[in-house]
Structure 1
Amino acid sequence: MGSTVDPGPIDKSVLYDQENHISSAIWEGQERSVLRCHEHTSMLEQWKLTPKQIELVEKAGFGYFRMIPTISLDNALISALVERWRRETNSFHLAVGEMTITLEDVALILGLPIDGKPVLGVTRPPGNMCENLLGEVPGDLTGGMLKLTWLKERFSTCPEDAPINEIERHTRAYLLYLVGCTIFSTTTGNKVSVMYLPLFKNFDEAGKFAWGAAALAFLYRSLGNASLKSQSTISGSLTLLQCWSYYRLNVGNPKFNKEPNDDFFPFALRWKGRATGPRSNSNIGTYRKALDSLQPSDVNWLPYKDLSFSPNLDDFSESLILQTSKTVLICFDKAERHLPDRCLRQFGMLQPIPKDVQQWERKIKWSNNGVDVTKQTNLQLKGKNQAELKEWIDRRLHIITDEENVDESMYMEWYERITRRFVGRPESLESEFQRIVTAMREIADIADSLSNGVMGFQDKQSLDEIKNTALNSLMDVVEDSKRSRRKIATKRKRDDDPSPNISKEVMLDVWMH
C-alpha cells in the first residue's frame, strides 16, 4: 500500500515548499530523531523577588506569566506536532483541517498582553546597554548574547533594603532572564540576546508592549524553522505549544492526580502538578500515527468556553477581540502572519475555503536614528516593512467575522487536495493485524504462565476474562481498520490494498495457534 498512496498535496499551490519539509524526508524513510527542545525554565524558581520587584514585573506586563511553573516537555509530542506545521500558512495541517495557535491561546494560556505596541527596539553596543541598565558588563559578552547563568548568579537575590536603582537593575535582569528562557529562548544554548534589555528601561512603558503577539511571532518562526528537514532543534515558548495541544487535541494528554480547581489564571496553571499520564511510554511514531488519523471528535474546538477565572481581567477580555484579527505579528526583525481566517472553527464559526496566502516579507529592516526605544513612532521602517507596521497599527480594522451560508463540505473537499494527508506511511491492514495478534499472543502467554494447580477457580476465571477481552479488542481494531480502508477505497475509486476477509473463526485459529 505504502508505494501507491499519494500523501499529497495533490494541488501544490498552497504547500509550495513541500520538498523541503520534514514530512518529505520521513515519507522516504529518512527519520530524524526527536527534536532537541530549548526552554530553560528549571532555574526560574531560584530567583527570589522582593515585593517591590513583583510590583515592577506586573507593571512590565509579566505579572501572570511569571507564575507559570516549569512544565515538563514531551519532546516526542512536540516533534510530532512540528511535522504537521506548515510555514506557508502558519498552521498545523491535520486530518480534520487546519488549526493554529492564536492570539487568544497566548493571552489565556500564558497570560501575556496581546494588544499594544509592537516589540521593536534599537540596537546599541551590548556592553553599553548592560552597563547602563544592569550596572555591569559580563566578561564573555559576545555576539550580543548574554549567558543566562551569569544573570542568575549576579541578580537572582535582591536585598530587601536595596536602593531603588539597584532594585530596578535586579528586576531588569530577572525580566531578561524570564523572556530568554521562555518566549524568546534560542537554539544557541543557555543565552539571551541583549537587544531585549532596553525594553525594560522603563517598566510602565514595558507594560505597553504586545508581548503575547511577539511571543507568537517568535514561536511561529521557530515552528517554521523546525519543520524543515535540515533542522534538529526547536526553541520559543514550547510550554505554549504543548499546553495548546493539551487543550485542543486528544493526543498524549496527561491525566491529573486530581482535577484542578477552575479558579486559575493563566490557563497553563491547569497542568501544574499533573500525573505523568499516558505519555510516559509514547514515542514520536505513536503520536505521528494519532495525528495522521485524527478525527473531529478528537478536537476540542472551543476549549476555554466553560473555563472561569476570578481575577479582574478586563484588559485581557477587551483585547480578545484581536483573536480573529488577520494581521502581522512583530518581534524585532521577525514578521509573521496571524491567519485566523484559515482556522475559524477555533472561534465557533463555520470554515469556508480561505483565500490564497501571499508570500510575505518575514524579515523587518529598520533604522532607529539613535532615538529611545520607547518612542516607537520615531522608528523609521524601510521599504515594504512600513506596510507590516501599519498592518499591526490597523489590527482592529482586520477582524474576521462569521459568514453566512458556508458549506464546510466544500472546504474539506478543497482541503484534502491541498494538504499533506500523511506524514508516516499508512500501515496495511494485514501488517497491523499481524502486529496486534503478536501483542495479544504475548498477553495470552503471560496469562497461561500464571495458570497452575495452586490457582483457584476465581483466578482462572479472571484469566479467561483477560483472554476474552484481548480477543474482543482485537476484533474491534480489525473492524475499525476495515471500515477505514473501505472509506478510502470508495473515495479514491479504487482499492489499492484490499482488506482481507478475516472471519472470527480464522482469528480464533490464529489466536489459539
Structure 2
Amino acid sequence: MGELTITLDDVSSLLHLPVIGDLHAFQPLHVDDAVQMLVDLLMVSTESARAETAQCRGPYVRLQGVRDIYERRCQTCHWKTAARAYLLYFLGCTLFANKSATNVHVVYLEALRDLSMTERYAWGVATLIYEHFPSVAESTADQDYDEASPRACRWIATKKTVKSIRTPSYKERLDRLRIPDVCWIPYGEHREVRDFHVRSCYSVLLRWGPVAVYYRSERVVRQFGYTQTIPTPPVDSWVSYDDIHDRWMHYEDYIVPAGEVCVVLGACFSDYMDWFFRISHPFMTPSHALDPLPHGHAPQPRVVPQAPQTDIPHVPEPGASSTSAEEPRHAVEVCDDIAERLERHLSLGVVTPDSSTHEVIEECLRLARSVTQDHLIYIRCRRKRRTDQA
C-alpha cells in the first residue's frame, strides 16, 4: 500500500514526549570519564564506579545498581542525586533500553546534570532515533484507558500475547494490506489532548549525541493527512552536527510542502504505486495458489506446447563443445516463460490497473502468447498432415 514509518507525531501522541527543544550534543564517553561522572553526579566512590564499569565492560552501569543508588540517596535525603538516579533508571528501562536489558549508558547522565534544564531537550527525537516503542499489535485494549493519558497506555501487552507473535504471520498480514485497510490517521480522538505539530513535517537530519539519522517525512505525508506523491530522490547532503541543530531550531525552512489534502484517507496519485513497486521489494512471503488476488486479477490458463526435439536441430555456438550437457532453449520456450512471469506479476497486483506500466505488461504478454499460440497451431497442422498422409 506504499510506505509507512514511525514519525515525530507518533512519538508525541503515543508517549507524550516533547518533539520541540534542543538536540543533545553529548560526545562518546571513555570509561574514565564515565567513572568521574558517576562520582560527581551520583555520589558513588571511585572504587565502586570502577567496579561497576568493569563489570559492564564499558561506560555503562547496571540498572539494579542505579536503583540501589536511588534508594540510598532517598534515605540520606540527597534529593537531587536521587532524582538523577531515578531518571537514569527510567531512561535505561524505557527510552534507551539496550539488548542487554540490564545496563544503561552513563552518558545519559550528562542530560541530567542540571535538572532544571532537562525539559529543554527534544526527548521525542531521541526516542524516534532509538526506535523503542511499546508493541500494540496483538495487545489488549485497557478498559480503564483515559484519553488524557499517552496513547500508548491504551494497550496492555501481556507475556501471553507477546509469545503468540509469530514473524511469518505478521509478514503475511503486511503483504495482504491494501490502502483501505490502513488507519492512516489513528490519533483523531486524541488531538484535543495532543495536537499535531507541524514540526512532524520536518525533513532533513536529526541527531542525539553522536548519532545522526535522516528523517524523510516527504515519503509518508499520508500519515499527516495529505495526498502522497512520488518523492524526490534522496540527496546525501551530510552537514556538521552544529548545522543539524541549527536547521532543527529553524525548522520552518525545512518543512515538506504539504500538497493536496486527502479527500479520501490514504489517497495517492495514480503513478505513485507504480513507482513504489519499482523501487521496493514488494512482498516478504511467497504467494499461495489459493490466496485471494488483489484488484480482481486472475491468472490466465496456460497452454504449453511440446515441440518435438527433431523439429529443431541443435546448432552449437562457435567455440562450444558438441558434447555440452546444456542444450539451447527454443525461442518458444523462452516466450512461454516470459508470459508465465508476466501473468504472475499481474496476478500479484503489484501494478496498478489502467496505468501505463500495466498496459505495457499486457502488450508484452500478448506478444509472447502470440508466439506460443502460433507455434501450437503450427504443431497441430503438422500432426494433421502426417495423419492425412498416413
Q: TM-score interval w.r.t. the shorter chain?
A: 0.5 to 0.7
Structure with more relative contact order (C-alpha pairs < 8 Å, separation 6 or more): 1
1:105 aligns with 2:2: no
User: C-alpha displacement at 1:401, in angstroms?
Assistant: 3.5
Q: TM-score, normalised by structure 1?
A: 0.52
**What SS class does the counterpart of residue 330 from structure 1 fall into?**
strand
After superposition, the Cα gap between the structure-2 partners of 1:482 and 1:294, relative to the gap in structure 1 and judged at 3 Å, is closer
Segment drifting more, 207-216 vs 392-401 = 392-401
Partner residue of 1:307 out of 177, 185, 190: 190
After superposition, the Cα gap between the structure-2 partners of 1:116 and 1:187, relative to the gap in structure 1 and judged at 3 Å, is same
Aligned ranges for residues 488-499 of structure 1 at < 5 Å? 488-489=346-347, 491=358, 492-493=361-362, 494=365
Partner residue of 2:133 out of 218, 238, 263: 238
User: C-alpha displacement at 1:400, in angstroms?
Assistant: 2.2
- List per-residue Cα deviations over 1:14-64 (Å, max 9, x = no partner): xxxxxxxxxxxxxxxxxxxxxxxxxxxxxxxxxxxxxxxxxxxxxxxxxxx
Q: Which residue of 2 aligns with 1:180?
A: 92
- List per-residue Cα deviations over 1:446-490 (Å, max 9, x = no partner): xxxxxxxxxxxxxxxxxxxxxxxxxxxxxxxx6658945448238
User: C-alpha displacement at 1:296, in angstroms?
Assistant: 1.4
Aligned ranges for residues 174-323 of structure 1 at < 5 Å? 174-219=86-131, 237-239=132-134, 242-243=135-136, 252-256=137-141, 259-272=143-156, 281-307=164-190, 317=195, 320-323=197-200
Structure 1: gaps (5+ residues): 1-95, 220-236, 244-251, 311-315, 362-382, 434-477, 497-513
Q: Which residue of 2 aligns with 1:394?
A: 250
User: C-alpha displacement at 1:321, in angstroms?
Assistant: 2.0
Aligned partners of 2:138 and 2:10: how far apart in 1?
17
Letter in 1 for 2:275: W
Aligned partners of 1:255 and 1:190: how far apart in 2?
27
Q: TM-score, normalised by structure 2?
A: 0.67
Letter in 1 for 2:274: E
Q: Which residue of 2 aligns with 1:146?
A: 61
After superposition, the Cα gap between the structure-2 partners of 1:114 and 1:407, relative to the gap in structure 1 and judged at 3 Å, is closer
Q: Which residue of 2 aligns with 1:367?
A: none
Q: Which residue of 2 aligns with 1:130?
A: 38
Aligned partners of 2:186 and 2:9: how far apart in 1?
11
**What SS class does the counterpart of residue 183 from structure 2 fall into?**
coil
- List per-residue Cα deviations over 1:49-93 (Å, max 9, x = no partner): xxxxxxxxxxxxxxxxxxxxxxxxxxxxxxxxxxxxxxxxxxxxx
User: C-alpha displacement at 1:197, in angstroms?
Assistant: 0.4
User: C-alpha displacement at 1:189, in angstroms?
Assistant: 4.8
User: C-alpha displacement at 1:294, in angstroms?
Assistant: 1.2
Aligned partners of 1:352 and 1:393: how far apart in 2?
27
Segment drifting more, 405-414 vs 144-153 = 405-414
User: C-alpha displacement at 1:302, in angstroms?
Assistant: 0.6
User: C-alpha displacement at 1:345, in angstroms?
Assistant: 0.4
Aligned ranges for residues 435-450 of structure 1 at < 5 Å? none
1:342 aligns with 2:225: no
Higher-Rg structure is 2
After superposition, the Cα gap between the structure-2 partners of 1:215 and 1:282, relative to the gap in structure 1 and judged at 3 Å, is closer
User: C-alpha displacement at 1:104, in angstroms?
Assistant: 0.8
Aligned partners of 1:386 and 1:307: how far apart in 2?
35
- List per-residue Cα deviations over 1:411-462 (Å, max 9, x = no partner): 11211111110122223x1xxx4xxxxxxxxxxxxxxxxxxxxxxxxxxxxx
8 A Cα contact 1:254 1:275, kept in partner: no
- List per-residue Cα deviations over 1:342-361 (Å, max 9, x = no partner): 10000110011101112365
Aligned partners of 2:269 and 2:7: how far apart in 1?
21
After superposition, the Cα gap between the structure-2 partners of 1:218 and 1:202, relative to the gap in structure 1 and judged at 3 Å, is same
1:418 aligns with 2:279: yes
Aligned partners of 1:135 and 1:107: how far apart in 2?
34
Aligned partners of 1:284 and 1:273: how far apart in 2?
17
**What SS class does the counterpart of residue 329 from structure 1 fall into?**
strand
8 A Cα contact 1:218 1:334, kept in partner: no
8 A Cα contact 2:74 2:82, kept in partner: no
After superposition, the Cα gap between the structure-2 partners of 1:109 and 1:414, relative to the gap in structure 1 and judged at 3 Å, is same
Tell me the number of residue pairs that the alignment of Structure 1 and Structure 2 aligns.
294
Q: Which residue of 2 aligns with 1:5?
A: none
User: C-alpha displacement at 1:193, in angstroms?
Assistant: 1.2
Counting aligned pairs with the same residue, the percent is 24
Aligned partners of 1:388 and 1:203: how far apart in 2?
25
Q: CA RMSD in A?
A: 3.1
8 A Cα contact 1:114 1:213, kept in partner: yes
Letter in 2 for 1:238: F
Aligned partners of 1:156 and 1:396: how far apart in 2?
45
Aligned partners of 1:334 and 1:394: how far apart in 2?
20
- List per-residue Cα deviations over 1:381-419 (Å, max 9, x = no partner): xx7334323222222321223224996111112111111
1:155 aligns with 2:70: yes
Aligned ranges for residues 326-405 of structure 1 at < 5 Å? 326-359=203-236, 361=238, 384-404=240-260
Letter in 2 for 1:424: T
8 A Cα contact 1:127 1:141, kept in partner: yes
